[in-house]
Amino acid sequence: MKRLAVSRCLFLGCIIAAAIGGCNDRPASSPMVSVSGAVTGMTGSAVLQNNGGDSLTVAANGPFSFSMPIDVGGTYLVTVKTQPAGQTCTVSNGSGTAGTVNVTDVALACVTNTQTLGGAVSGLNGNLVLQYNGGSPLTITANGVFVFGAPTAEASPYEVTVRTQPAHQTCTVAHGLGIVGAADITTIVVTCITNAFTVGGAISGLTGSVVLQNNGVDTQLLSTDGTFAFPMPVREGSPYLVTVKTQPAGQTCSVANGAGAMGAVRVTSVVVVCAANTYTIGGSVSGLTGTVALQNDGADSQTINVDGAFQFAAPLAQGGTYSVTIQAQPVAQTCTVVNGSGIVGAANISNVVVTCATNAFTVGGTVSGLSGTLTLGNNGTDLLAISTDGSFTFSTSVAEGSNYNVTAQTQPTGQTCAVSNGSGVMGGTNVANVGVICATANTTISVSSTGVIPVNGASGSLTVTNTGTTYAALNVSAILPGGWTSVTQDSSSCPSIAPNGGTCTLLFTSTKPYVADGNIAINGDNITSSPTSALAFSIDDYLVFSVPNSTTALVVASSDAGISGPWSMDLVDIPGTTETSTAPPCNGGSDGSCDTAEIVAHYGTPYSDYAAGLCYEITADNSGAVALGTWYLPAVCEIGSSGEGAGCPTGIPNIDANLVQPGFMAQLGLGGPSGLYWTASEYSGMPDQGAWIQVFVPGGGSQQAGSKNGNSIRTRCARAIGY
């Protein structure tokens, strides 16, 4: 009923009733309580309401109280109608049913609103440091979105700035200044660009047009002196290189300070200096033996005393003329100039050729008494064949001041020609007084029967004796086999051998061994019959009997390995070691090394009990220590020749044909071999009981025969040796 009375009062004119104090929302006797509380954190002002009305403006922290009380038992609901600027306030203990005492515990807590600041970075190439309002820095290393870590109070001003720029870049901030609103700031834009500056400088001395270039692409055409700058800037930290792309006509421009790395300001220090082109005049001198004086254009002189390049001191301008002449000739020479004049072009002149030749004169004379063909030589090289009496002249002139020496290089058959006035020093005229008188003057010679040439060692020698009684033997030498290319002959002591037993020595050295040759002819200019000798080769004082390849020679021992002994210790056929066997395992007739290995493999030790073992067990020789098996018992065709009994093929180098028969073994004081010697080849007629032997007969008549294995026969060993 009370609520109905209040409603009617309001309906009928609450305003009038209020004016006379007779209208109210409750009976005067109803109990009432107030609603109040406290505010904390407030920085502005807020409007509170209770039960949707009774608005209360609160502008400071502390207690507050609504003006309108509420009935005991009634409800209350405190809400925030209007929040303070930049804050959010929340109500606690703000609703409930009123009791009999005032409500005093409503709490209003206000906090300031905050938003994050951020945006996006583009173009960054390094490390960028941002900050806002001078606060904590934010380091950014990549393009994209960024957000500052600390939020900012709503309604606060903000300003984002670049604290540290990235190296070689400049970053600018857009939308970085404002007031924080009610939402996060995401619109800040940071744009970075790489710093770039122009390259330029100054040019001087230019009389035409020059094209400069920077870094091979940016060009600049200049036609006057002054400052310049290339149009394309260069990024900070990047290199720049200024060069001349096209030189001006008749000038050369050079660049200074034209290279470097771009810094933080534009480059203005490039210096280009242009000057008229000048070029040197020069060339080369050859054949000079004294001093020649050259001159250019009748003024610039140059004295030269050695062959090689020369250059006049004064350069000439491009387009000028030059003329190089001989100012003074060298003593005893005449120099000529080629390419000595012309117009100076765009390069140094370096093709002037000065050729000097020593003044030379001919050598000649007369020949008389000639009945064949005579070969004269001047200084041992200029040869002249003469077949009739009369005057002669050598084709090659002799330099003034040089020696000439005319000799008979090849005497006519059956004659000896003597030379008079044949030597001297060339003067300033031709020599025409050389006399050559020819007369019959043959003689005979003899020579040592054998000689040995140590490979890569001392000389081997043959002694030649003039057995004639009247005339000297002239220009004696040995005629060596054509294949002995590594043998050097020294016949310098044999140009003339006195009659009645006069001698000379032919010396021989060699860097390679060859198979001995028993038919070495010895000849001379006036020798009626050429005797022959035999030459062999030795390595480490062992005679070479075969040269199977370009690095290996086969040598024979200097003495027997055993005075006498058996071939084997029992009667057995060792496969592959007969004179008719072929590989595998051995070429029994010609490969003693293989035969020896097969024999030793069968009999083993003691090696001294059989012939092959005596060779196999040798561990030291003239070369020093050697391995077991270095030495071996030669096969039958390595010891003897074809036609001696074992059916050896012709052409196989062997000890008998190459060393024993020519007498080399005896020459070295080896005393043989002579008599019976074992070979490493079994006798195919009875391989289990017999082996081939070599019967050496020095001087001829050597034979091969089969012998019982148990017979006591001599042993001579061989080995392969490198050279």
Mind listing the pLDDT tens digit for each residue in 680-699?
999 999 999 999 999 998 87
440 pLDDT exceeds 90? no
pLDDT in tens, 416-431: 788 999 999 998 899 9
pLDDT in tens, 260-301: 999 989 999 999 999 888 899 999 999 999 999 999 988 889
d(CA 120, CA 114): 20
| CA distances from residue 607 to 451, 570, 673 in whole angstroms, order as listed | 36, 14, 22
What is the pLDDT averaged over residues 654-661? 90
Structure tokens at 239: 């290199």
Q: Band the pLDDT of 19: cuts 50, 70, 90.
A: very low
Q: Band the pLDDT of 154: cuts 50, 70, 90.
A: confident
CB 463 within 8 A of CB 501: no
Residue 90, beta-bridge partner list: 109
Structure tokens at 114: 């905050």
651 pLDDT exceeds 50? yes
Contacts of 661 (CB under 8 A, 6+ apart): 518, 698, 699, 700, 702
101 phi and psi angles, rounded to 5 deg: -120, 160
CB 560 within 8 A of CB 446: no
CB 354 within 8 A of CB 336: yes
**pLDDT for res 681:** 97
d(CA 654, CA 664): 13
**pLDDT for res 4:** 30
Q: Band the pLDDT of 668: cuts 50, 70, 90.
A: low
Is the backbone of residue 181 left (phi > 0), alpha (psi -120 to 50) or beta? beta
pLDDT in tens, 465-512: 999 998 899 999 999 999 999 999 999 999 999 999 999 999 999 999
* Strand pairing class (374-378; 382-386): antiparallel
Within 10 A of 183 (CB to CB), how many other CB atoms are there? 9
Q: Band the pLDDT of 14: cuts 50, 70, 90.
A: very low
Residue 660 per-residue DSSP state: I
**pLDDT for res 416:** 79
Q: What's the mean per-residue pLDDT of the chain?
A: 90
Q: Band the pLDDT of 438: cuts 50, 70, 90.
A: confident
1 pLDDT exceeds 60? no
703 pLDDT exceeds 60? yes
d(CA 675, CA 276): 99
6 pLDDT exceeds 50? no
7 pLDDT exceeds 90? no
**pLDDT for res 667:** 54
Give percent above pLDDT 70 in the chain: 95
Contacts of 593 (CB under 8 A, 6+ apart): 632, 720
Quote the strand ranges of 540-589, DSSP E. Answer: 542-546, 552-556, 562-565
Q: How long, in residues, is the chain?
A: 723
Q: What share of the chain is helix, strand, coil (3-state, %, to 5)?
A: 5, 50, 45
Which element (helix H / strand E) includes 534?
strand 532-539
pLDDT in tens, 23-65: 344 454 579 999 999 999 898 899 999 999 999 999 999 999 9
**pLDDT for res 384:** 96
